Amino acid sequence: MSQDMKQAALDYHANPIPGKLSIELTKPTATAKDLALAYSPGVAEPVREIAKDPELAYKYTGKGNLVAVISDGTAILGLGNLGPLASKPVMEGKGVLFKCFAGVNSIDIEVNAESPQAFIDTVARIADTFGGINLEDIKAPECFEIERTLIEQCNIPVFHDDQHGTAIVTAAGMINALELANKKIEDAKIVCLGAGAAAIACMKLLVSCGAKSENIYMLDRKGVIHAGRDDLNQYKAMFANETNKRTLDDALDGADVFVGLSGPDLMSAEQLMKMAANPIVFACSNPDPEIRPEVAKAARNDVIMATGRSDYPNQVNNVLGFPFIFRGALDVRASAINEEMKVAAVNALKDLAKEPVPAEVLKAYELDKLEFGPEYIIPKPMDTRLLGRISAAVAQAAVDSGVARLPFPAHYPLTSIHDVYGK
Ligand SMILES: NC(=O)C1=CN([C@@H]2O[C@H](COP(=O)(O)OP(=O)(O)OC[C@H]3O[C@@H](n4cnc5c(N)ncnc54)[C@H](OP(=O)(O)O)[C@@H]3O)[C@@H](O)[C@H]2O)C=CC1
Ligand SMILES: CC(=O)C(=O)O
Ligand SMILES: [Mg+2]
């Protein structure tokens, strides 16, 4: 990023008031009578009702449209373990996206936990406050046990965005990119650089979509994950292949797909040249991708390229998932976000990329034209149709799979965040 952009980003966060979110009132507070309803004595009435029936918290408080965005700061974007406080701009950022794209209220919570168990205990104790919990930027392998335990302990959706949000968006983009490259997912040789939260979840979902695990070469800092290694945790071990490949160069030789979920500038133009014809490169590390699109495209013109960033074509980023997935889950009061709901989100997202792009989206991105092709494999985050399509698909899948506690919403499909409480 240029010095100008860096300063602009700091100014954006600092001015005119610090931070990116604030809390707004939803009820009148102008008179003494208003205050008597909002606070003492009126507030005692919903207290008594909720004490008798906890479900009434959804009627009398903001719980049903409130998500906690919770991090321990151990894997902030691709910047690494910089601690909970430093993660706050990202968590506030997730809150901005929840609100502006899906009308979901959120509170960011940065937890200074000395162990995964301390983190779990902290989250479990505050879970009832919220309609859902979005775990963010928690490093592997701890994130897997943290999420599993919290799903068990909480009766609201708990969703580790870096795993599942990323996997859903990656799968949708990949299915479309493979179609454009005229490649079959079951034959594709896939290299995944990174073996953490995002990488493991992405590769698992690609396998569910038809990829063959024997065709996937996953790498961590020590190189290719193979059956001969004795230093693998149970999550990496699921991707250990019988192979002689040891390095990224070895793995990329003839590969069809590269998925980067690791760190900045880890793939060179020379390495890209080793890939098969019409290679697909998802360099998704944030903020700096594994290889920059300008470097990749200068090296070869047959590459279908995506990054996690807003300032290049094909933004493969979990922003295309979590706001709308939670919207759908909250609106049917789902007890969890299950596989059926994730697959429904993949399908809604990939299908939308094939439809004509509305003028307002073109305007937002200052483009004259955008149609399904190598430069447009996945919808743009500012496409307002995402709200209606993904939330409806997720809500329907929740109803069909039996985790919804409310019927499919009568006010769906949503056309705007102003409709989220009904039209
Ligand atoms: N575009 C998107 O939507 C998203 C992108 N991401 C990006 O994915 C990356 C990983 O995030 P996340 O999974 O949450 O973090 P984790 O800490 O869970 O995992 C990081 C993984 O990257 C590997 N890694 C780091 N540096 C290297 C290197 N030099 N060579 C090979 N492997 C390396 C680590 O290897 P080891 O196991 O050996 O430590 C680890 O397996 C980040 O850059 C993040 O921005 C994440 C979520 C969403
Ligand atoms: C996008 C995101 O969640 C990440 O890079 O961690
Ligand atoms: Mg993240």
Give CA–CA dist 213/216, Å, rounded. Answer: 5
Q: Is 256 annotated as a binding residue?
A: no
**Number of domains within the chain:** 3
- Residue 15, in any domain of the structure: no
Residue 53: other Cβ atoms inside 10 A: 9
Instruction: Establish whether residue 77 lines the binding site of ligand 2, counting it when its CB lies within 6 angstroms of any ligand atom.
Output: yes
Which ligand neighbours the alpha carbon of 320 most closely? 1
119 in a structural domain: yes
Q: Are residues 102 and 81 in the same domain?
A: yes
Counting every residue, how long is the chain?
423
Centroid of ligand 1 to alpha carbon of 198 (angstroms): 7
259 backbone dihedrals φ, ψ, rounded to 5°: -120, 120
Q: Is the peptide bond before 413 cis (omega within 30 degrees of 0)?
A: yes
Please check whether residues 147 and 228 belong to one and the same domain.
no
Q: Are residues 48 and 117 in the same domain?
A: yes
Residue 8 lies in a domain: no
Q: In CATH, what number is assigned to the domain containing residue 34?
A: 3.40.50.10380
Tens-of-pLDDT digits for all 423 residues of the chain? Answer: 899 999 999 999 999 999 999 999 999 999 999 999 999 999 999 999 999 999 999 999 999 999 999 999 999 999 999 999 999 999 999 999 999 999 999 999 999 999 999 999 999 999 999 999 999 999 999 999 999 999 999 999 999 999 999 999 999 999 999 999 999 999 999 999 999 999 999 999 999 999 999 999 999 999 999 999 999 999 999 999 999 999 999 999 999 999 999 999 999 999 999 999 999 999 999 999 999 999 999 999 999 999 999 999 999 999 999 999 999 999 999 999 999 999 999 999 999 999 999 999 999 999 999 999 999 999 999 999 999 999 999 999 999 999 999 999 999 999 999 999 997
DSSP state of 302: T
Phi then psi dihedrals of residue 135, to 5 deg: -80, 140
Distance 318 CA to ligand 2 centre (A): 7
Report residue 204: phi and psi, to 5°: -65, -45
Q: Indicate the top mutation candidate among 82, 135, 162 to test ligand 2's pocket, ranked by most ligand atoms within 8 A of CB.
A: 162
The range of the structural domain enclosing residue 108 comes to 22-160
Which residues are known to be catalytic?
Answer: 39, 94
pLDDT at 11: 98
Residue 195 sits in the same domain as residue 255: yes
142 is in an annotated binding site: no
Structural domain ending residue among the three candidates 283, 307, 331: 307
Of 258, 274, 307, which one is at a domain's C-terminal end?
Answer: 307
Asked if 75 and 162 touch (Cβ cutoff 8 Å), the reply is yes
Is there a single domain that holds both residue 102 and residue 144? yes
Give CB contacts under 8 A, 24+ apart, made by 47-54.
54/128
Distance 265 CA to ligand 1 centre (A): 12
pLDDT of residue 362: 96
Note whether residue 1 is domain-resident.
no
- Do 76 and 126 belong to one domain? yes
- Residue 234 maps to a domain: yes
State the DSSP code for 187. T
Same domain, yes or no: 356 and 294 = no
Q: Is residue 110 part of a domain?
A: yes
Same domain? 183 vs 141: no
Pick from 69, 91, 163, 286 the residue to mutate for probing ligand 2's pocket: most ligand atoms within 8 Å of its CB.
286
Q: Is 286 annotated as a binding residue?
A: yes
Same domain, yes or no, for 264 and 368? no
Ligand 2: residue whose CA is nearest its atom 4: 77
Residues 290, 177: Cα–Cα separation, whole Å = 18
248 domain-assigned = yes
The order of strands in the sheet holding 158-160 is: 105-110, 66-71, 132-135, 158-160
Atom of ligand 2 nearest to the CA of 165: 3
Note the pLDDT tens digit of each residue in 109-154: 999 999 999 999 999 999 999 999 999 999 999 999 999 999 999 9
Separation between Cα atoms, residue 191 and residue 371, nearest integer Å: 28
Q: Which amino acid is at 300?
A: R
- Write out the E strands in 228-316: 257-260, 280-283, 304-307
Check whether 317 is labelled as a binding-site residue.
yes
Spacing of C-alpha 415 from chain mean position: 22
Residues 6 or more apart in contact with residue 161 via CB below 8 angstroms? 94, 134, 135, 136, 318, 321, 322
ipTM of the complex: 0.99
pLDDT at 372: 98
Amino acid at 230: D
From the list 78, 74, 129, 138, the residue with the least C-alpha distance to 106 is 129
My answer on whether 169 and 281 are in the same domain is yes
Q: Is 138 in the pocket of ligand 2 (CB under 6 A)?
A: no
Judgement on whether residues 390 and 355 belong to the same structural domain of the protein: yes
Say yes or no: 189 and 112 in one domain: no
Sign, CA torsion 72/148/340/155: negative
Q: Which of 70, 72, 90 is the pocket-test mutation for ligand 2 (most atoms within 8 Å of CB)? A: 90
The vertex-245 CA angle with 242 and 248, nearest 5°, equals 135
9 domain-assigned:
no
Domain end (from 160, 194, 213): 160
* Strands 105-110 vs 132-135: parallel, antiparallel or unpaired: unpaired
